[in-house]
Structure 1
Amino acid sequence: MNNGISLYPGLENSFEENLQLINIAADCHIKRIFTSFHIPETNFANFRSQFDQLMKAASQNNMEIIADISPDTLTLLGSKKFNASLFKLKGIKRLRIDYGYENAVISELSHNSCDIKLQLNASTVTRRILNELALYNADFSHIDALHNFYPHPGTGISEKLLADKTQMLQENGIKVGAFIPSHNRPRPPLKKGLPTLEEHRRLPFDLAARHLCALGVNSIFIGDSFPTIDEIQTLAHLQENIVTIKARLYNKNPAVGQLLQHNTFTARLDEARDVIRTQESRQLFNDLSITQANSIDRQIGMITLDNDLYGRYKGELQIIKNPQPADEKTNVVGQIPANEIFLLRYITPGRKFRLDFS
C-alpha cells in the first residue's frame, strides 16, 4: 500500500521533530507525506522558515508531498497567481483540491506541464462532479482521492458513506485513501485525533488501520503529526485489500501453527451460512497428519481445522459464524477475540484474509 504520514510545519511540532518524523517514516519505507496550506492555527512565520528544508529532506528520501490547498494558499506562498511550477519548485508532487476550484479548472490542472498530480476530496465528491470532470476532459490517470479527516469529536463520517464514496471512485478508476488518528500526540488545536471514520477516534491504532484495509481503501494516512515508531511500522506492514484478523492460537502442532500464521487464504465463492470456508486449506494441509484434539462446541469466532478423521475433508479451515456442536472430526485451533469479530463481515466470497497469531 502507498501509505503516508502527515506533517504540519508551524504547528506544535518543532523543526527537529518534523525532520525526525520524515527520517523515521523513510526508514520504514513510507513514501507519502500529507500537509495542509490552510490550517488557521498555523504560525505562518514558522511555516515559511521550516517548509523548504523539510521538503528538501522529503525529496532526498524520494517521498511524495501531497499539499491540501485552497485559493488562500497563494497568500501563504507569497504569490498572486496560481502556477503549478511554483508547487513543483517547493517539492510538491500532488495537490489536494479541497474547495474553491471549479471542475473546469481542476480538469485543466490535470493536464499541467509540471507533472503535478491532483487529489480529489473523496468525502465530498459526487457523481455529478466526476461526470463534469469527464466532460471537461480531465486526465484521470493524474488524479486520485483522499477522504477528509475530522478534528471535532462527533463529526467523522460513517462507514457507509466512506464505503459508498470509495466504491464510486474506484469504479471510475480512481484510487482512494483515508485517515486514521495517532494516539501518541493528537494534533492541536482540539487534540482529539484526526480520523476519517468517527468510530476510529478511540479505536486502537492497529485495529483502525486493518479496518480501513478491510473496507478496501488503497492508501492510509496517519492524520496526527507525531505518531510512534510502532504506529509507523504498523502502517508500513499493511496489505492492501486483505482482511487481517488477530487471533489466539490453541493448536500445539508447530507445523500447523506455521501454516496458519504465514499463509493468505481466500474465502470460497459458494458462501456457507454458518462458517467461512477457505479455498486453499485442504491442499495446504494435505501432507500433514492432523490428530484429533480440542474437539469442543464451536462458538462464533472460533477457528477450526478438520482432522484426519474427516477423510477427504481433512485440512479444511473454517471460521465459525453461527455456533456449531462439537464434532470429533473437527479441531478448534484458535479463537478470534471479541473486539476483532466484526472484521469477519468483510470476508466476503472471493476475499483474501490472513490470521495473525503474533
Structure 2
Amino acid sequence: MLGISVYLQERIEEEKIRRFYEAGFRSLFTSLHIPEEDASAYRTKLQLLGSIASALEMELIADISTASMEKLDLDWNTAETVLDWGLTGLRIDYGIEDDVIVRLSQKMKVALNASTLTEEQLQRLIEAGLRTTHTEVWHNFYPRPETGLALSDFLAKNLLFQTYGLKVQAFIPGDRNLRGPLHQGLPTLEQHREYGTFAAFTELKAYNVDKVLIGDPDVTDEALMQLKDSSNTITLRAEPYGELTEAHRLLEKGTHNRPDRARDVIRSEESRMSGMFQDVEVLPFNCIKRNKGSVTIDNNLYMRYKGEIQITRSNLPQDDKVNVIGQIVPEDVPLLNYIEGSKHFRNIWV
C-alpha cells in the first residue's frame, strides 16, 4: 500500500489528497504533536482530514502521545473517539502501557514503533491478547542527514516483525516542498536520502515492505507518474543528448529488457527485433565514455547490432561503435538494479 503524509501545521488541501488517491494511494498519515496554543485548531483540522479520508475510504493513521491526547480533551480510555472523526488507527509511541495497546488493538488499527519495540515486548503483548490482524509496525523517518537507518538493521527488524505476522511500514522522501526546517527529505533508510522517490519505493518493495508512505508533503508530477505506473513498468527519468530521435521515442513509449539479462547493460528487446533501424543510417555521434546509466545506441560500425538500444548498468569505456544519446538522472540510477529479464521499462525525457 502507498500513502502520503499530511501535516496539520499546513493548510489541508483536499485537491492534493485526491491527486494522490487517483494515483492509487490509500493511506494517510499525520502527526499530532500539538502546540499548546493551537490545540483547538488542530482538533478542527484533524476532523476535517478525517472527513476527507472517510469520503475517499482511505485509512488515516495519526502519530499520538499522551500529551497530544490531553490537548484533544481525550485520554487512553476514550481514545476510540478518534474513530468518529474519521481516523482508522493510531501510531503509538513508547511509554504507553501494554494493556492500553492491547485494548486499542481490539477496536482499531494500532501501529507500534519499530525503533522501540523489542521481541520481548511483542511476545508479551501477544500473550496479553494483542489483535495482530489490527497491528502493524511502523518505522520512523529521519529529518537530519546521517541519522537514517542502516539497511542491515532495517532488514533484520523487518524479518523479526514479519515472522510474527505483522505488516511493516517505512517512509521514503518526497521530491517537492520538502518538509522543514531542514528540507533534507524524510526517509527511514539513510541511503534513500539521495534516491528519487520512486527509486526508494521500488527498493522497499523489493525488500518486502508492506506499506510505503512518503514522509514529505508532496512529490513532482513525474514522480507521481512513476509511482502510479509501478505495477506495470519501471519509469526512468533521463536527460537526452542531442535532438530527440526514433531511439528516444521508442524508449519514451516503452520497451522490454531481453529475457537473457546481461551483466553490464539493459538491452531493449524491441530495438532490434522490430527492424526499425534496419534501413536507417546510425552514424557515429557522441561516442564518449559510458557512465552508469548512459543511454546508448549501437551505430553503423557495430554491423548487425546496429540500432540496439541499451542502458549501462556500470561504467563502461568509450567505444567508437556506440553512441551515447542520454543519461539517467542520478536519483533514478538505483532503479537499474530492478530491471530484470523481460521487465518493461520506459524513459521520461527531462
TM surpasses 0.5: yes
Distance change in 2, residues 1:178/1:154 (3 Å): same
Tell me how far 1:2 sits from its aligned partner. Answer: 1.8
- State whether structure 2 residue 210 is matched by structure 1 residue 215: no
Q: Which residue of 1 aligns with 2:274?
A: 287
Name the SS for the 2:77 alignment partner: coil
- State whether structure 2 residue 342 is matched by structure 1 residue 357: no
Pick one of 28, 31, 42 that aligns with 1:36: 31
In structure 1, C-alpha distance between the alignment counterparts of 2:222 and 2:214, rounded to whole Å: 13
- State whether structure 2 residue 94 is matched by structure 1 residue 99: yes
Pick one of 167, 177, 180 that aligns with 1:174: 167
Name the SS for the 2:46 alignment partner: helix
Name the SS for the 1:3 alignment partner: strand
- After TM superposition, the structure 1 = structure 2 runs for residues 186-197 of structure 1, keeping only pairs within 5 Å, are 186-187=179-180, 190=181, 192=183, 195-196=186-187, 197=189
Residue type of the alignment partner of 2:265: I
Distance change in 2, residues 1:71/1:244 (3 Å): same
- After TM superposition, the structure 1 = structure 2 runs for residues 1-358 of structure 1, keeping only pairs within 5 Å, are 2-8=2-8, 11=9, 13=10, 17-18=11-12, 21-29=13-21, 30-39=25-34, 43-83=38-78, 85-101=80-96, 106=101, 109-110=104-105, 112=106, 114=107, 116-125=108-117, 138-152=130-144, 155-158=147-150, 161-162=153-154, 165-166=157-158, 174-180=167-173, 184=177, 186-187=179-180, 190=181, 192=183, 195-196=186-187, 197=189, 207-217=195-205, 218-224=211-217, 227=218, 231=220, 234-235=223-224, 237-239=226-228, 240=230, 244-250=235-241, 254-263=245-254, 265=256, 272=263, 275-278=264-267, 281-283=268-270, 285-290=272-277, 291=280, 292-294=282-284, 296-301=287-292, 302-306=294-298, 311=304, 315=308, 317-326=310-319, 328=321, 330-337=322-329, 339-340=330-331, 343=334, 346-347=337-338, 354-358=346-350
Q: Which runs of 5+ in 1 are unaligned?
A: none
Residue type of the alignment partner of 2:290: Q
In structure 2, C-alpha distance between the alignment counterparts of 1:350 and 1:166, rounded to whole Å: 28
After superposition, the C-alpha distances for 1:44-80 in whole angstroms (9 at most, x for unaligned) are: 1322344323422442343321111234443233234
Q: Which runs of 5+ in 2 are unaligned?
A: 206-210
Name the SS for the 1:238 alignment partner: helix
Distance change in 2, residues 1:193/1:76 (3 Å): farther
Which shows bigger deviation, 236-245 or 68-77? Answer: 236-245
Distance change in 2, residues 1:314/1:165 (3 Å): farther
Residue type of the alignment partner of 1:68: D
Distance change in 2, residues 1:26/1:253 (3 Å): closer
Tell me how far 1:260 sits from its aligned partner. Answer: 1.1
| 8 A contact 2:76–2:100 mirrored in 1 | no
| 8 A contact 1:121–1:145 mirrored in 2 | yes
Distance change in 2, residues 1:50/1:93 (3 Å): same
Tell me how far 1:88 sits from its aligned partner. Answer: 1.1
In structure 1, C-alpha distance between the alignment counterparts of 2:53 and 2:59, rounded to whole Å: 8
Residue type of the alignment partner of 1:289: M
| 8 A contact 1:267–1:277 mirrored in 2 | yes
Residue type of the alignment partner of 1:26: R
TM-score of the two chains, using structure 1 as the length reference: 0.71
| 8 A contact 2:295–2:327 mirrored in 1 | yes
Tell me how far 1:91 sits from its aligned partner. Answer: 0.9
Residue identity (%): 25
In structure 1, C-alpha distance between the alignment counterparts of 2:202 and 2:59, rounded to whole Å: 25
- Counting matched residue pairs gives 331
Tell me how far 1:219 sits from its aligned partner. Answer: 1.9
TM-score of the two chains, using structure 2 as the length reference: 0.72
Residue type of the alignment partner of 1:256: A
Distance change in 2, residues 1:258/1:166 (3 Å): farther
Tell me how far 1:93 sits from its aligned partner. Answer: 0.9
Distance change in 2, residues 1:347/1:109 (3 Å): same
Name the SS for the 1:99 alignment partner: coil
Residue type of the alignment partner of 1:288: G
In structure 1, C-alpha distance between the alignment counterparts of 2:346 and 2:305, rounded to whole Å: 24
Distance change in 2, residues 1:251/1:166 (3 Å): farther
In structure 2, C-alpha distance between the alignment counterparts of 1:126 and 1:345, rounded to whole Å: 35
In structure 1, C-alpha distance between the alignment counterparts of 2:99 and 2:257, rounded to whole Å: 43
In structure 2, C-alpha distance between the alignment counterparts of 1:44 and 1:351, rounded to whole Å: 54
Tell me how far 1:41 sits from its aligned partner. Answer: 6.4
Tell me how far 1:323 sits from its aligned partner. Answer: 1.7
Q: Which residue of 1 aligns with 2:208?
A: none
| 8 A contact 2:265–2:311 mirrored in 1 | yes
Distance change in 2, residues 1:45/1:107 (3 Å): closer
